[in-house]
Structure 1
Amino acid sequence: MANIRPLRRPPAAPAPAGKAVRRPVPAFTGPTRDYTYDGTFEGLLTVLFTVYDSKAAPNSIQPEAAVQGGLFAAPAPVETSETLAARVWEGLLNTMDAEARTRLYHVFLSEDADREMLVFRYVDLALRSPQDIAENYANADVRRVQRLAQQMFREKHRMEAFVRFEKTTDELFHATIEPDMDVLPLIAAHFTTRYADQRWLIYDRRRHYGLYYDLTRTDVVQFETATAPRSTGLSATVLDEREPLFKVLWQAYFDHVNIPERKNLKLHRRHMPLRYWKYLSEKQPRETRFQPIANKRPPTDGTLRLPAAPQPEE
């Protein structure tokens, strides 16, 4: 049994009609608070609105599922509001360009331990600075945001290249991934466009949710604990009978295009880290060893030579 919900992305902002006028940023006059939210990006944006609306700076911002309260501080829960989240998301364009704003969403998906406070410090710095801070690399928070955004871009690019599907008996193409960062929201558009003619499911084994495309739209899928996939592959009983052949052909292709004289394992592992290998068909143990085609080149004497027939066992 799977719970399906539409794929959630950061709120889309309309194109600005003109140059926005910055409003003065209120000073924090109230006592600091330990904010908690539901763990969604919309929830974090709602926390940012609450911070400036109540003029109370955050001592910490934590998801409700992982709250670690202080000795004398009580958590201040913030209820997610999509309206307020969209208002904050649009308002960020008053202090930063669209690319810098997108980097904040990537920082959230990076699952960095300090991501919530990092987003707040970056936004607060942008609000209080008279100039664009995107290239203010003298600031540690700006450097950290840029570095996390670059790491997210590399992880997204690798997932788009390293996903390997297996076909099941009910014509569903399934793939399991285990990325370091939460990249599923970023790769959804790529796979929806590229594989628009087939049903597919990409399951993130580390975060226990996936993307499901049903030929009309892409949704987020969450499995119940009892039915969630626990292994790196599917059972042979649910795979299409031709899937082992597809795997052998895929491995034979990679063996055939390989150039042993140019083998460079160090460079190979840098572009294809070892942590991805367990999900790649070409890196699995060979069930059938690849043999070069015997009659690939025509005989020089003009005669046609066929491979010798196997001799019967006595």
Structure 2
Amino acid sequence: MKPVRRPSATALGAAQAARRPAPILSAPPLDYTYDGSFEGLLTVLFTIYDWRAAPNSIQLEATAQGGLFTQATHRATDEIQAARVWEGLLKTMDAEARTRLYHVFLSEVSDRELLIFRYVDLALRSPLDIAENYANADVRRVQRLAQQMYREKHRMEAFVRFEKTTDGLFHSTIEPDFDVLPLIAAHFTKRYADQRWLIYDRRRRYGLYYDLTRTDVVHFEQDAGPKTAAVSATVLDEREPLFRLLWQAYFDHVNIPERKNLKLHRRHMPLRYWKYLSEKQPRETRFVPIANKRGPAAEG
């Protein structure tokens, strides 16, 4: 990954001096609801500063809980307003810091909306770049969540295992801690550009489908069958059991029993991913080491 070039303090200070000061949120606070999309949240941020009304809460419309004497205000997603906010953030922070906000949104933590608002509001009112202001609790938390998302993204890129179906589709099921599908789409589109594939997130019931020309997001109305990692044998290619056996044999033969370290192994490959890994499935045949070492007598 190419390093992100940070703007100099002089350049960032000039950009902050040129922007208009953030409006004072003097109106009574409101409870906002949105449709759950990132663009919807950006629309809410636009509304907060347009109406000068700070948020008491920002909730999903489908699960919103209203107050005893107040009713939540729903904001429909406005692509134009969302784009203005997204581009306007570059006046107060660099591209890397702005990306962290998207990662926080994908982390699905319960208070992600208010955390993003507080971070943005702090950036709007600070004369200096806040990206490394780790004395602030919100900045530290945004940085920590972004790091967790980065680790989960790379784990998914490493741990995805495809199974081929009878119609030539390569299918994989995952269940990550965070919503990382939007972050891994480019990696798999580039790496597997010559085959049709589907990566399905069982926990969130949607997936990525690549049809040899483009990658689309596909949604599933309901989860079919029990919560298992296995695909029905009736839809798998007849050679898939052989592929799994070959993969398991390769994994076993490159293993060095004398250097086994299960604690380190589980740290790099957490146990929660094992049910989706071919090499961790029960062996159909007993492992027999390859006799590839010849003694002095045999060499003579």
**Scaled by the length of structure 2, what TM-score is found?**
0.91
Counterpart of 1:64 in structure 2 is 61
2:231 to 229, 234, 239: 234
Q: Secondary structure at the match of 1:71?
A: coil
Counterpart of 1:115 in structure 2 is 112
1:43 to 40, 43, 49: 40
Q: Take 1:267 and 1:60, find their aligned partners in 2: how far apart are those partners? A: 42
Matching of residue 29 in structure 1 with residue 33 in structure 2: no
Counterpart of 1:273 in structure 2 is 270
Q: Any conservation in 2 of the 1:208–1:228 contact (CA below 8 Å)?
A: no
Q: Secondary structure at the match of 1:211?
A: strand
Identity of aligned residues (%): 79
Aligned pair in 2 of structure 1 residues 187, 87: CA closer, same or farther (>3 Å)? same
User: How far 1:226 moved relative to its partner?
Assistant: 6.8
Aligned pair in 2 of structure 1 residues 154, 226: CA closer, same or farther (>3 Å)? closer
Q: Which residues in structure 2 correspond to 1:158-177 (within 5 Å)? A: 158-177=155-174
Q: Take 1:208 and 1:214, find their aligned partners in 2: how far apart are those partners? A: 19
Q: Take 2:272 and 2:292, find their aligned partners in 1: how far apart are those partners? A: 38
1:133 to 130, 149, 174: 130
Equivalent position amino acid for 1:180 in 2: D
Q: Any conservation in 1 of the 2:15–2:92 contact (CA below 8 Å)?
A: no
User: How far 1:69 moved relative to its partner?
Assistant: 1.6
Q: Which protein is bigger by CA-based radius of gyration?
A: 1
CA RMSD of aligned residues (A): 1.9
Aligned pair in 2 of structure 1 residues 301, 287: CA closer, same or farther (>3 Å)? closer
2:281 to 269, 279, 284: 284
Q: Any conservation in 2 of the 1:205–1:229 contact (CA below 8 Å)?
A: no
Q: Take 2:141 and 2:223, find their aligned partners in 1: how far apart are those partners? A: 39
Q: Any conservation in 2 of the 1:106–1:148 contact (CA below 8 Å)?
A: yes
Equivalent position amino acid for 1:276 in 2: Y
User: How far 1:233 moved relative to its partner?
Assistant: 1.5
Greater helix fraction, Structure 1 or Structure 2: 2
Which consecutive segments of 4 or more residues in structure 1 shift more than 4 A?
226-230, 294-303
Q: Take 2:280 and 2:225, find their aligned partners in 1: how far apart are those partners? A: 25
Q: Take 1:254 and 1:93, find their aligned partners in 2: how far apart are those partners? A: 46
Q: Secondary structure at the match of 1:93?
A: helix
Q: Any conservation in 2 of the 1:212–1:220 contact (CA below 8 Å)?
A: yes
Q: Take 2:72 and 2:15, find their aligned partners in 1: how far apart are those partners? A: 38
Q: Give 5+ residue unaligned stretches, structure 1.
A: 1-15, 304-314
Q: Take 2:225 and 2:52, find their aligned partners in 1: how far apart are those partners? A: 43
Equivalent position amino acid for 1:161 in 2: A
Matching of residue 193 in structure 1 with residue 190 in structure 2: yes
Matching of residue 89 in structure 1 with residue 71 in structure 2: no
Residue-by-residue CA offset, 1:183-214 (whole Å, 9 max, x unaligned): 00000000000000000000000000000000
Equivalent position amino acid for 1:130 in 2: P
Residue-by-residue CA offset, 1:241-270 (whole Å, 9 max, x unaligned): 000000011011110000111111111111
Q: Secondary structure at the match of 2:87?
A: helix
User: How far 1:231 moved relative to its partner?
Assistant: 2.9
User: How far 1:302 moved relative to its partner?
Assistant: 6.9
Q: Secondary structure at the match of 2:109?
A: coil
Counterpart of 2:179 in structure 1 is 182
Equivalent position amino acid for 2:265 in 1: H
Matching of residue 248 in structure 1 with residue 218 in structure 2: no
Q: Any conservation in 1 of the 2:34–2:60 contact (CA below 8 Å)?
A: yes
Equivalent position amino acid for 1:45 in 2: L
Counterpart of 2:261 in structure 1 is 264
Counterpart of 1:8 in structure 2 is none
Q: Take 1:35 and 1:287, find their aligned partners in 2: how far apart are those partners? A: 55
